[in-house]
Each structure stands twice: as C-alpha cells, then as structure tokens.
Amino acid sequence: MIRKLHIKDHGIETRLFKRRAIVAITIIILMILGIVARLVYLQIYSHQHFSTLSQKNRLKIVPLPPTRGLIYDRNGLLLAKNIPSFSLELIPEQVKDIDDTLQRLSKVVAISNSDRQHFKRLVKQKRRFKSIPLRYRLTEEEVARFSVNRHHYKGVSIQARLIRYYPFGSSGVHTIGYVGRIDARELQRIDTANYSATTHIGKLGIERSYEDDLHGQVGYQQEEVNAQNRTLRIIDSTPPISGKDLYLNIDMKLQLYANKVLGDYRGSIVAIDPNNGELLTLVSKPNYDPNQFVTGIGVKSYAALRDSPDKPLFNRTILGQYPPGSTVKPFIGLAGLDAGLANSDLFCPGWFMLEGDERRYRDWKKHGHGNTNLDKAIVQSCDVYFYELAQKLRIDRMHKFMSLFGFGKKTGIDIIGELAGLFPSREWKRQKRGQAWFPGETLITGIGQGFTLTTPLQLASATATLAMNGLHFRPSIVQSTQGRDDEKPVRLPVTRFKSVLLKDPQNWQKVKQSMLRVLHSPRGTARSSGQSAAYKIAGKTGTAQVFGIAQDAEYKEEEIDLRLRDHSLFIAFAPFDKPTIAIAVIAENGGSGSHVAAPIARKIFDAYLLGKEL
C-alpha cells in the first residue's frame, strides 16, 4: 500500500485537537457531576427511604419446585416415581473446622473419599452460607444415628428431597429414559424462571421428550429472613403446579418378559398394536440401571458403560440400523405383484448371474430351490427369485414402493433422536456417494442386503402396516396425560399416515398367506415356531450378513468371530385374521432368523395373546 504524503500544518492540527480534548474533558466532568448528583440524590436525599427499605428488605422470594409427573404403563403399573431421599448437608459459614467435622461425621454416617472430594469442590464453588450436600440417599439407620447426635454438629442438617426412582430399573431404561442434574447446555435451553427450584431434568427417552408435560410449574414463597439469612416466617406463597402424569402404551409385564426371552443376546424387540400404532414393548439389550444416573453416576462406572463393546447406552430400537435381510421379501414381493411382475415361475439353480457379468449371486441354499414361484420364494426364502424380481422392478421403483411402508424414513415416534435407516435409490447414491448405480446393487437390495438399513422400530411399523392391508399409523409410546388426580386422563391423538394403496387389494392376501405358510407349512423357514399355536401367525425370517463372504467361499459359522456372525431377524403379526400385535425381533450375531429370533417372537405372542407367563 502506498501512502501519499501530504504537507500538513502541525500547528493547526495540534490546536484543533487540543480544543476538542478540552471540550471532551469538560463534557466528561459534567457527566461525572451528573453521576455525583444522582448519587447525592440516592445516598443523601433518599438515604432515609432506602435505609428503611434495606431494613425491611428481609423478604425473600424462594422458588418451590413442582413435583414431577409420574409415569405409568398401559395397565397402571408405576414406571417412574418420586421417592423421598435424605441428604446430609453442611453450611460452611456455620461450621468452624470443616475437616474436623467431616472426620467426626464419618463415625456416624458412611462418607467415602469421592463424597469428600465432591463436597470440597462444591464448597469452593458455592457461597459460604449456602447449604451444600455431602451425602445423598442416607439409610434410615444413618438418619436415626445422626438425629440423636445432631447437637454435636453445628451447621450440619438433614434435608428431605424427592428424587426420581425407576422401580423396574434397567428393563425400561431406553424407553422411559432418566432424569439427571441440569447441565450448562440445558440451562441455555430451559426457561430459567420455571426451573429456578428444579435440580433435575429429563435426559433421555420419555423423560426428555415429554419434559414440558412432566415438569410442571414452579411455585413461589415469600419468606421473612433475619440478618443471618435464616427463615423466620412465611408471608405468602403460590404453590407449585405438579407436572402431568403420563400413561404409556407400553405393557410393562410384556416388556419384562421380552427382556427375559431375548436372553443374553444383544438386540432388540419391538411390538406394536397394528390397529393404532401403540407400542406395546420396546426392548433394547444390553441395558443399564437408570437409577445410578439420578444421583450422579461415578466417572468410572460411566466410562465402563460408555466404552463397553456391547454398547449398553445405545438404544437399539430407534438407533440400531441393521441390514433387514430376507425380512424385506414380503414387501418386495408385494411391489412385484403390484407392478404385475411377480406372476411367473423361475428355476433356481442356487445362483443368479447378470448378463455380461462373471459374478455369481448366490442363494443361501447351495443347490437351489428348483422351480419357484412367489409363494415358494417367500415361504422358503429363495434369494434367486428375488434377485430376478429386483432386476425386473429396478431400484427406483423398489425405493418408491418401500418408502410407502416407511423404509428409509423416520417413523415419527414420540421420543427424540430416532434414526431414519436407509433404502437406497439412484438419486441417493449420486448425491451421497457421487457414484453411479450398478445393476448388481439392485439385486442385493432385493434381498435386504447392500446399502439397505432399518431400525427395529421401522421393521415393526412396516409389518404392522402390512398386517393392516396398508393402514399406516404413527408409532407412539405415550397414550394419555393426566393433569391432576381428580381429572380424567387426556388421550393423545392417534396419527394416521397416508395408507399404502395397491392396484389390486387381493395382493395383500397373497403375500400374507405366504407369510402364514412361513410358520404353518411343512417347508416354511419358521415352521418350528408355528407348531401347535392356538392362533395363526404370519411372519418372515431374516438372516443378515454382517460382513461379506468371498465368492464361492463356504460359510462356516464356528470359524467366524462371534461378533461377525449373522444377525438373526424375524418379523411377524398375529392373530392372522384380526391382527392385534406386530413384532420385529433382532438378535445381533444370533445366526439364522428361524433358530433364534422366530422362537422369541412366538413366546411373546403366546404371552400377549394367551396371557401365558405374565
């Protein structure tokens, strides 16, 4: 940059600046005099007035926390409640020697090292006249022991608070969620006035998604305090308004049973009422105890949960994205029927080849199924039939049809954080991967492999839609809210999405009949799970590959690392004629769908429809 040099008259400029500086200092002095005048008015003229106000200023406004709404299951079983908890608290200003007091207290009440450290940290952060918790959840015995000796401990007191408690612990954690201390991020989000007395906020699941309903309205109390800040009497109070109680669609007994029958498998079970989208059961395993989060989980315990390879913190029902495997076949078959492309037979030699491509797309059955029609292809889960059907349908038509059932789209469930899964299309691949679509990818999409990903919730919801001949409801966890005990619960509206319409409605029955034969015919893949059932079940097994197998390589289960084994999947609904429950079961690395997932679903059907085991 070139700066031009001007000849300047320094004298004139200096004088000009001096004049301005004098104006500035004059104005500044005048403004300071203005401040002084204001202070004289406040401190001399109105001193008496403000002095009286400050004397009388012993009135304090203390916010009162509202009681958090309770959560019940569909049968009125209590899932989240508030229990009184006693905590031991100290006011540092009133304690002469904190270390000595802690030492003496530890003889009466158990105080761990981490309690001590946590407390010391709080002492530094908080004001000296504020009560600081040292121990939470005292036992009754500890409360009694302290109360007898309390005169020895000046400035130490026991405070009763309501804390959240989940009686069913880990069994419902992914659905119900839990509350925890409000953190800095949440502070920015919430209405601080309404939360001025609240210490905990919903962090996950229903507790988080329905926070506004559950929390309630803060109350206020005007108290008179003395010069030591101790409350003398209560002048006036506006009681808080409790949060609303929630009734869930979840059947907790069924959920407990589902948790049990899934056994030690990692995985998920979603059961839904197809008539209205009510979610009966949402199981994600492994799980963890939400109660440890309420009073604050230790760093070590949390790290153990977070870093566990089994991912217990991960809610598989809405976040677990799995390849659906053969469970997509009824839907693809329906797409084929609707397009008039699934009426002819085909010979299955055990593999399929695209023209001009050397690669063999293998069937799970090495020597093939022989002559196959759509019914046989669903009942015996023939891959080759669906390779060819997919090729005829082409990817974009499949994508469009599957979207109607909610594949690749969020289901709209009423808890936050759900993932959308993926059903690929030409468009998607170009945008997200910047690549062209290959014909081979169409084939494997036809058997639910390749790019396709679904959450267990999506699978259950799609199955429910199929069971209802296309009636499509939004899956929902919360059934109704109740403001006060004497009020009637208010049912939340059921949302119906656009129905799936077929050109020929007869085709619904065709596919459903095939699904029936999966369980109730001698060659059905899940025949053992359909045996001697008191009602008819329609379903489809699925076995999803976790990793690719080389061309023509033999798949030997025993030789493969446990975590690379196939996922075992099963979707079904029952009773066949008038479905009241649809289900999706996924057992991670469980192997074949017919051996693991299908028997689990059968047990849950028996429990729900016949009342067995509950």
* x/- map, 76-115, other proteins, by CB under 8 A: ----------------------------------------
Selected binder of other proteins within 11, 97, 193, 358 (CB under 8 A): 193
Residues found in the chain? 614
Question: Which is nearer to other proteins, 237 or 371 (by Cβ)?
Answer: 237
Question: Which is nearer to other proteins, 238 or 308 (by Cβ)?
Answer: 238
Torsional sign, CA 47, 48, 54, 57: negative
Element (H, E) at 323: none
CA distance linking residue 421 with residue 148, whole number of Å: 60
* x/- map, 528-567, other proteins, by CB under 8 A: ----------------------------------------
* x/- map, 29-68, other proteins, by CB under 8 A: x-xx--xx-xxx-xxx-xx-xxx-xx--xx-xx-------
CB 274 within 8 A of CB 581: yes
Element (H, E) at 574: strand 567-574
Q: Please say if 568 is a catalytic residue.
A: no
CB 601 within 8 A of CB 573: no
CA distance linking residue 325 with residue 568, whole number of Å: 9
Residue 24 has φ and ψ, to the nearest 5°, of -60, -50
Q: Does position 300 bind other proteins by CB under 8 A?
A: no
CB of 11 to other proteins, least distance (A): 12
CA distance linking residue 136 with residue 109, whole number of Å: 11
Q: Does position 13 bind other proteins by CB under 8 A?
A: yes
Question: Which is nearer to other proteins, 10 or 556 (by Cβ)?
Answer: 10
Beta strands in 67-119, from DSSP E residues, in sequence order: 71-72, 78-90
CA distance linking residue 344 with residue 480, whole number of Å: 49
Q: Minimal CA–CA distance to 317: which of 553, 584, 91? A: 584
Q: Which of 87, 209, 268, 326 is catalytic?
A: 326
Q: Which stretch binds other proteins (CB under 8 A): 186-194, 201-209, 408-416, 523-531?
A: 186-194
Q: Which of residues 403-442 bind other proteins (CB under 8 A)?
A: none
Exposure class string for 190-220: b at 16+ Cβ within 10 A, else e = eeeebbeebebbbbbbbbbbbbebbbbebbb
Selected binder of other proteins within 96, 113, 141, 185 (CB under 8 A): 185
Selected binder of other proteins within 75, 229, 238, 509 (CB under 8 A): 229
Q: Which of residues 444-483 bind other proteins (CB under 8 A)?
A: none
Q: Does position 484 bind other proteins by CB under 8 A?
A: no
CB of 60 to other proteins, least distance (A): 8
CA distances from 311 to 288, 475, 584 (A): 10, 25, 20
CB of 226 to other proteins, least distance (A): 9
Q: Does position 235 bind other proteins by CB under 8 A?
A: no
Residue 252 tokens, joined: 């907790």
Burial of 479 (0-12, 13-18, 19+ CB in 10 A): buried
CA distance linking residue 201 with residue 153, whole number of Å: 33
CB of 212 to other proteins, least distance (A): 18
Question: Which is nearer to other proteins, 39 or 83 (by Cβ)?
Answer: 39
Total of chain residues touching other proteins, rule CB under 8 A: 51
Q: Minimal CA–CA distance to 272: which of 286, 260, 254? A: 254
Question: Which is nearer to other proteins, 52 or 147 (by Cβ)?
Answer: 52
CB of 221 to other proteins, least distance (A): 13
Element (H, E) at 586: strand 581-587
Question: Which is nearer to other proteins, 16 or 148 (by Cβ)?
Answer: 16
**Residues recognised as catalytic:** 326
Q: Which residues bind other proteins (CB under 8 A)?
A: 1, 3-6, 8-9, 13-14, 16-18, 20-21, 24-25, 28-29, 31-32, 35-36, 38-40, 42-44, 46-47, 49-51, 53-54, 57-58, 60-61, 124, 127-129, 185, 188-189, 193, 220, 225, 227, 229
